[in-house]
């Protein structure tokens, strides 16, 4: 699913989230563990207006765990709590209510001091499309309550789902990704968060291969039985050479023996997204 974000959409999305902020104590901001900054909304701080926030680095099962640890330290330095989660299997989600209580401890303590029985923490999940919001809500609820692939602007009655000491809104807040930086678009596209109609599949694969040559050469070389590592990853011819070698390995050949680069690109991206090349991260904090 692709959402075309126009100024009107963004204003509406922003307004919808800000309406919901009035109802909640805590925002659960979902980002993709493989590209924590690129999968963030550029105006998130402004939109959240100082609400307590927990960052969930979702799809941590697909990310390079050493890099994920660096990101957790990075967010901690900024005074933010980030938890690695795999919403698909539920790994890490038990920590969410635990951390929610830690983040709201002062408020809860104040209520207790006043003799008020603390009510459940009300939380809203927000994030860009495809980051796993519905999967996380359903996993936390233990049943299917949120439709995966939810669209902005589609209104339905929202409900609270009680999960231990948390009450979660079943409708997530959908935010738009960053558009200004082309590399952000490519990182999102490599993970499949942006459809290939928007960016050219060969360009996306080129971006991916260039990154893999620099940071994950061994895994890529092993998977596609590549022998010649490019000497200069900045040299486009050498990157295309790797793409051709991958295409040959996968039988993406057109008449005359030439490699069908478009097909090879599709194959590579599918294998990469399916985790066949192992875990990888597309940006690191340091």
Q: For binding to ligand GDP (CB under 6 A), which residues are involved? A: 58-59, 61-62, 86-88, 127, 129-135, 148-150
Nearer to ligand GDP, 251 or 275 (CB): 275
Shortest Cβ 55–ligand GDP spacing (Å) = 14
Shortest Cβ 181–ligand GDP spacing (Å) = 21
- Using the CB atoms, write b or e for 161-191: b if 16+ within 10 Å: bebeebbbbbbbbbbbbbeeeeebbbbbbbb
**Backbone phi and psi for residue 214, each to the nearest 5 degrees, phi listed first:** -75, -40
**d(Cα 63, Cα 153) in Å, to the nearest integer?**
31
Nearer to ligand GDP, 130 or 233 (CB): 130
**Backbone phi and psi for residue 64, each to the nearest 5 degrees, phi listed first:** -70, 115
**d(Cα 243, Cα 239) in Å, to the nearest integer?**
6
List, in sequence order, every residue forming a beta bridge with 27; answer none if it has no partner: 53, 124
Q: Which two tokens stand for residue 135?
A: 């999967």
Nearer to ligand GDP, 147 or 284 (CB): 147
Nearer to ligand GDP, 5 or 217 (CB): 5
Shortest Cβ 88–ligand GDP spacing (Å) = 4
Nearer to ligand GDP, 128 or 261 (CB): 128
Shortest Cβ 157–ligand GDP spacing (Å) = 18
211 closest CA partner among 233, 181, 229, 185: 233
**d(Cα 174, Cα 198) in Å, to the nearest integer?**
20
Q: Which residue is nearest to ligand GDP (CB)?
A: 132
Shortest Cβ 271–ligand GDP spacing (Å) = 14
Nearer to ligand GDP, 61 or 196 (CB): 61
**Backbone phi and psi for residue 246, each to the nearest 5 degrees, phi listed first:** -65, -45
Shortest Cβ 202–ligand GDP spacing (Å) = 24
43 closest CA partner among 152, 153, 176: 176
């Amino acid at each position: 699913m692709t959402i075309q974000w126009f100024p009107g959409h963004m204003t509406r999305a922003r307004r919808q989230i800000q309406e919901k902020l009035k109802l909640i104590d805590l925002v659960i901001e979902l980002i993709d563990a493989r590209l924590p900054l690129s999968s963030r909304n550029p105006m998130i701080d402004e939109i959240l207006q100082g609400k307590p926030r927990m960052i969930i680095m979702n799809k941590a099962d697909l990310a390079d765990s050493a890099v994920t640890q660096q990101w957790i330290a990075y967010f901690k330095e900024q005074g933010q709590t980030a938890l690695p989660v795999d919403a698909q299997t539920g790994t890490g989600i038990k920590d969410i209510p635990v951390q929610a209580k830690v983040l709201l401890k002062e408020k809860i303590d104040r209520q207790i001091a006043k003799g008020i029985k603390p009510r459940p923490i009300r939380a809203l999940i927000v994030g860009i499309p495809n980051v796993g919001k519905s999967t996380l809500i359903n996993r936390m609820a233990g049943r299917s309550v949120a439709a995966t692939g939810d669209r902005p602007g589609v209104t339905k009655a929202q409900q609270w789902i009680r999960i231990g000491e948390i009450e979660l809104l079943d409708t997530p807040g959908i935010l738009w990704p960053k558009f200004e930086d082309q590399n952000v678009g490519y990182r999102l596209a490599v993970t499949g968060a942006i459809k290939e109609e928007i960016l050219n599949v060969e360009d996306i694969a080129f971006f991916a291969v260039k990154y893999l040559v620099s940071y994950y050469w061994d895994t890529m070389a092993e998977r596609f039985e590549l022998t010649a590592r490019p000497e200069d990853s900045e040299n486009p011819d050498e990157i295309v050479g790797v793409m051709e070698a991958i295409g040959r390995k996968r039988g993406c050949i057109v008449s005359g023996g030439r490699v069908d680069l478009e097909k090879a690109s599709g194959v590579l991206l599918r294998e990469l997204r399916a985790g066949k090349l192992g875990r990888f991260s597309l940006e690191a904090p340091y």
